[in-house]
Structure 1
């Protein structure tokens, strides 16, 4: 009786665990549709560039402008490039970019697969001896897993440019000198964990979106519900993965 209020959540967690295991059981690269994978990489990755560009530029610009007054009080304005670079690369760019992509990718996948489920297209694929899980779920999850790290690295670069635009208004600093200060403050121990966790971000964005769409039930209203739940759950998973990644990095 104590678990009755959380019965739906526990059932959903169990279904997701089975869905997670099924992904690795059915992951066979030899029978994977390369054309569909490239299509999803283009749709989910390349078409996200305008959104990531805008977000990255604003992140770097705002972070620089907000931190400059506090640093100026201590006469440490020369440390701003290093601080901005370290903050962007290690935490801000990966998490914010992942959240932005979760809003676009997870909702799109959830709505697309949810629509296919309620219109019985997925059932028709199963009857026709087509493996819908591999064609629909695995390709989309691999696409988000592969594309998100690339988008985050791109957001890092754009964010650093935004930081330069923000600081160049107040300091006589060339772009070359600014980048030199940024890279002097960074090490591979900062970059590698930040990149590695973006693979996990991308994996859960794709898998959660596919899970919500694949298990949509009811009429057309369930499509919107699947898209909404996909965004919320994917965003929460990003925070949990980031928490675990930060703890592991701290131990190392």
Structure 2
């Protein structure tokens, strides 16, 4: 019993130390955003890395998500004779919930893992230490551009995801299930308002900050050797995915 209590206490202390380090890392990152000089070239490179390089996976995921929503939604609504509401169901599901969440998960797996591995390799090859020796702040050079790029790129990718998903639902609804094109879009215009779009925007912005914060922190504090980088990359993807789902529920409950 005593050994179990010691284990719980030791685990709790390690958890609070870890969370404290993450919080301090986030505060430092936000602080250095407003301290000149601004690494604009690094920022643009990371926006391209998060955005352009992730576009293909976002387009494919968005298209098939919209198709599946339309297909399953049609058979559910058909039981109640409400097939005309298929357009709003697809649009609201994507804009408020699935668009920000699935897009964030895809970008985390594709770009977030790469950022963690890149920074982790910089750590184990002492490139970050070299930046410090050359009087270059590694937080401003390595971390800040990634966080700003995530905040910018995630909402843009989510918008692309939503549009592609809605048109994917349109293809299935109109051309496969025989729903009227006018009904699909007119009902969508009637039920979807700016509040729904703002909720999706708030979620994508927060996901951009959370994912880049976690991934850069894991890479920045990774252990030495190939095992340390691989462990940091795995932990970054898993923790980011869990935090995305947890924060999505909390934000959805608050904004409901």
- TM-score of the alignment, normalized to the shorter chain, above 0.5: yes
Alignment of 1:42 with 2:48, yes or no, is yes
| Offset of residue 241 of structure 1 | 2.0
| Offset of residue 109 of structure 1 | 0.8
Match in the other structure for 2:91:
85
Indicate the RMSD between aligned Cα atoms, in angstroms.
Answer: 1.4
| Offset of residue 25 of structure 1 | 2.0
| Offset of residue 29 of structure 1 | 5.7
Change (3 A) 1:241 1:172: closer
Alignment of 1:27 with 2:33, yes or no, is yes
- Equivalent residue for 1:202, pick from 201, 208, 211: 208
Alignment of 1:234 with 2:243, yes or no, is no
1:105–1:206 Cα contact (<8 Å) kept:
no
2:50–2:111 Cα contact (<8 Å) kept:
yes
Match in the other structure for 2:169:
163
Q: For each residue in 1:125-159, what CA deviation from the matched residue of structure 2 results, as whole angstroms up to 9, or x when unmatched?
A: 10011111111000001101110000001100000
Alignment of 1:70 with 2:76, yes or no, is yes
- Equivalent residue for 2:131, pick from 114, 125, 131: 125
| Runs of 4 or more above 6 Å deviation | none
| Offset of residue 172 of structure 1 | 4.4
| Offset of residue 5 of structure 1 | 2.9
User: C-alpha separation between the residues in 1 aligned to 2:83 and 2:215?
Assistant: 43
| Offset of residue 75 of structure 1 | 1.3
Match in the other structure for 2:61:
55
- Structure 2: any 5+ residue segments left out of the alignment? 1-5
Aligned length in residues: 249
Match in the other structure for 1:135:
141
Aligned residue for 1:3, secondary structure, equals: helix
Change (3 A) 1:29 1:157: farther
User: C-alpha separation between the residues in 2 aligned to 1:66 and 1:110?
Assistant: 37
Select between 204-213 and 8-17 the one with higher mean Cα deviation.
8-17
User: C-alpha separation between the residues in 1 aligned to 2:179 and 2:118?
Assistant: 50
